[in-house]
Amino acid sequence: MSRAAGIGAPVGIYVAGVGLTPVGERWERSLREIALEAIEAARADAGGLRPQALYVGNMLAPALSGQTHLGALLADFSGLRGIEATAFEAAGASGGVAVRHACLALASGAVDSALVVGVEKITDRIGSAVNAALAGAADADHEAVQGVTPTAQAALLMRRYMHEYQVPADGLAGFSLNAHANAVACEHAIYRRAISAQEYARATKVSDPVNLYDAAPVADGAAALILTRREAYPPGGPLPAARIAASAVATSALALHDQADPLAFSAAAQSAARAYAQAGLGPKDIQVFELHDLFTIYAVLALEAAGFAGRGDGWRLAQDGQIARGGRIPISTFGGSKARGDSGGATGVYQIGEVALQLQGRAGAAQVPSVRLGMAQCLGGAGATAVTHILARDESLRQGSDSS
Amino acid sequence: MTDSDRGRMLKPVNDVGFVGYGAYIPRYRLPAREVARIWKSDEDGLPIVEKAVPGLDEDVVTMSIEAARNAVSRAGIDPSEIRAVWVGSESHPYAVKPTSTIVAEALGAVPHTQAADWEFACKAGTEAIQAAIGLVGSGMARYALSIGMDTAQGRPGDALEYTAGAGGAAYLLGPAAESLAVIEGSYSFVTDTPDFWRRANERYPEHGQRFTGEPAYFKHIEAAATALMQATGTTPADFAFAVFHQPNTKFPQRVAKTLGFKPDQIQAGLLVPVIGNTYAGSALVGLTAILDVAEPGQRILVVSFGSGAGSDAFCLRTTDLLLERRSRAPSTRDYIERRTEIDYATYARFRGKLTLQ
């Protein structure tokens, strides 16, 4: 096992179980209950494996549920009382960061198996409470205090991008249309409905130029993964296996005005570059990319930052079908944040679970044909934290084989 | 139908019906586009066309008296025979002091009568009707008057301000043999669901936004309607008309479709586009509009919804007495057509939204 780039590429770590619960208004279930749903689904997928540690990704429970201390809470509630358990917070990148830390623990040999659950309970609160909590991802002293919300940040970035690169008013429509079209096949998506270009064009502006269809719905959700070292891959786990080929986190300034080039999405670019280096791959090798399309402009900037398009050209990828399931670089294959729905700190876990399903040929009607390498990237705030994971289909792991 | 379904249906020992009914809708109208103009909202997809607004000298007491007089006129009885005057509203002018005693006094129903105010958000009026069914059906009273009336509150700028209207209806209950519509059965479905509320001493209600839909309005209306149709052995095709609580235009249309009713079955009672959501009066004033046009021998399904939350469902069948009685008082349409449009500033003055030192 080599350690590429000296930053802990987790060689030999596998996604041994995936549990994705429906994103939506889960009014009848509490935070711990939706987390349990995801955990039980992931454990069942992993042949009932009992993990040695729990890593929770969550952003909003302290603000919206009055609940901190999710590690012990969810370990206990899911029948795992006693195991090591900790929650990780990095705004919308919380889930990716939790996976990253599970990978570090597995790579170090501290544990052989880990459970990651990303969970958010949002829709029990109404009015400005949710917006205020979400704005906590921005710089509280210099942005949120002025009333800047995530949507306003996205509007500033989208306006600037459209100005810099002469993008027409509906230039980003394709990202929303693609996400909605893909979500039709996704059982855990909040909006399983295709939308038309006309609907996009008619949509109410949320924060000009961001319209209703540029912005992802924020809703309850929980997703869980069982991760194991190769030698601990459970006998009943899914095959072919999905191996984590790279795991990388990078950061930038929270405030847009503190970033020298906000449209560069520098943390996204850095984390992608680190991931490529760990895996010995480049953008040309990636066959599916679950990116964080919290706003359509974020999809564009993430594609450019990860090298799928040059600066100012990312928006064109949606114009000619390149981001569709049959295109050069399919994105949001289960709907993405735009149509699967965005569950804050759970998003990164959903994405990695979705990439694993694609690699294993378990994506059902959402399947992209012959995928061997996939990438997932989640963002905190306006890209101040970026977590990139690359997953590879691994047919060397077989049922009954000596996996050590 | 199982015994438990039949057992849950509310049916009195003696058959009861409506011997009279009366609507009241105040004259003033505030167009929804006028609210959108003030609050800089999109004028596409407004929830209604316009809402009825009470005048400066109107409140739930005066409006209840208007509707009750229409009901008594249609019934053609002596008001002193009324043994209960019950007013359901969430806009009672007093926190302590009954609306119903003032209404009873004005009608001439005092002093040998029950009088009480009812509260259950938008279903306070239908709750009062169920109680009257019990009072009359048990033989304790020959006639009982139940009213659902509101001058609904909406915080300026809130989504409710577009729809919070004013109006309602009064129903005089009596023996089935004297009735213009017989009540074949009734059913209530209630849970603790916090979708909409107004705390004591607060001026405006709060609501759970989208939570007011699926787990509140739709769940309760669908459950109540389905249970009552099962208990009475009826299907949507058996009803000439149906009326559901009308907080906006879309909700009653959607719940009707889900339950299997066709648009023409709800059209006559769908008043919300032109008078707004009259809260405790909403389903009941929709029913007066239906009774204004129904033929004898037709079935009508009525389902209210009150936040907090619950639905009361009623299965009615009109009788031959309907035709001669309905012309004895102004029709619901007469009140809708008696229309004076006002602007937002006048609305603010009428509704006391401007307070001067």
Band of the pLDDT at B132, cuts 50, 70, 90? Answer: very high
Would an 8 Å CB–CB cutoff place A126 in contact with chain B?
A: yes
Of A25, A121, A212, which to mutate for an interface test with B (greatest number of B Cβ within 10 Å)?
Answer: A25
Q: Are A89 and A63 in contact (CB under 8 A)?
A: no
Q: Are A339 and A87 in contact (CB under 8 A)?
A: no
Q: Say whether pLDDT at A182 is over 50.
A: yes
* Type of residue at B20: G
Q: Tell me the per-residue pLDDT of B136-187, one tens digit each, with 9 for 90 and over.
A: 999 999 999 999 999 999 999 999 999 999 999 999 999 999 999 999 999 9
Q: Which residues of chain A does B211 touch, with a Cβ-Cβ cutoff of 8 Å? A: 25, 27, 123, 126
Cross-chain Cβ contact A204/B42 below 8 Å: yes
Cross-chain Cβ contact A25/B210 below 8 Å: yes
**Number of Cβ pairs < 8 A linking chain A and chain B:** 13
Q: Say whether pLDDT at A266 is over 70.
A: yes
Determine the straight-line distance between the first and last CA of chain A, rounded to whole angstroms.
12
Q: Are B251 and B216 in contact (CB under 8 A)?
A: no
A125 to chain B, minimum CA–CA distance in Å? 8
Q: Which residues of chain B does A123 touch, with a Cβ-Cβ cutoff of 8 Å? A: 210-211
Which region, left, alpha or beta, applies to residue A265 given φ > 0 means left and ψ of -120 to 50 means alpha?
A: left
* Type of residue at A275: A
B209 to chain A, minimum CA–CA distance in Å? 7
Q: What is the mean pLDDT of chain B?
A: 95
Cα of B206 vs its chain's centroid, Å: 21
- State the pairing for strand pair B308-318/B181-193: antiparallel
ipTM (interface pTM): 0.71
Cross-chain Cβ contact B211/A204 below 8 Å: no
Cross-chain Cβ contact A126/B209 below 8 Å: yes
Q: What share of chain A is helix, strand, coil (3-state, %, to 5)?
A: 40, 20, 40
Active-site residue flag, B315: no
Q: Which residues of chain A does B210 touch, with a Cβ-Cβ cutoff of 8 Å? A: 25, 123
Q: Where are the domains of chain B?
A: 16-180+325-347, 182-321
pTM of this structure = 0.85
Q: Are A99 and A247 in contact (CB under 8 A)?
A: yes
Interface of A with B in 9-48 (CB under 8 A): 25, 27-28
Which region, left, alpha or beta, applies to residue B71 given φ > 0 means left and ψ of -120 to 50 means alpha?
A: alpha
Q: Span A242-251, mean pLDDT?
A: 97
- The full set of domains in chain A, from first to last, is 4-394 (3.40.47.10)
Spatial strand order in the sheet of B28-31: B50-53, B28-31, B340-341
Q: How far apart are CA B155 and CA B161, in angstroms?
A: 6
Band of the pLDDT at A9, cuts 50, 70, 90? Answer: low
Q: Are B126 and B284 in contact (CB under 8 A)?
A: yes
Active-site residue flag, B245: yes
CATH fourth-level superfamily of B182-321 = Thiolase/Chalcone synthase (3.40.47.10)
Band of the pLDDT at A277, cuts 50, 70, 90? Answer: very high
Question: How many C-beta neighbours within 10 Å does residue A162 have?
Answer: 17
Q: How far apart are CA A167 and CA B279, in angstroms?
A: 48
CATH architecture of the domain with residue range B16-180+325-347: 3-Layer(aba) Sandwich (3.40)
Q: What is the mean pLDDT of chain A?
A: 94
Rounded alpha-carbon distances, angstroms, from residue B57 to A232, B29, B70, B277, B351: 79, 16, 19, 20, 10
Q: Tell me the per-residue pLDDT of A327-363, one tens digit each, with 9 for 90 and over.
A: 999 999 999 999 999 999 999 999 999 999 999 999 9
**Half-sphere exposure in the Cβ direction for B55 (13 Å, CA):** 11
Q: How far apart are CA A260 and CA A253, in angstroms?
A: 9
Provide the pLDDT for residue A42. 98
Q: Tell me the per-residue pLDDT of B229-275, one tens digit each, with 9 for 90 and over.
A: 999 999 999 999 999 999 999 999 999 999 999 999 999 999 999 99
Q: Are A250 and A271 in contact (CB under 8 A)?
A: yes
Provide the pLDDT for residue A1. 38
Which of A396, A388, A401, A349 lies closest to A372 in space, CA to CA?
A396
Q: Tell me the per-residue pLDDT of A334-343, one tens digit each, with 9 for 90 and over.
A: 999 999 999 9
Q: Say whether pLDDT at A7 is over 80.
A: no
Q: Say whether pLDDT at B210 is over 90.
A: no
Q: Give the containing element (helix H, strand E) for A221.
A: strand A221-229
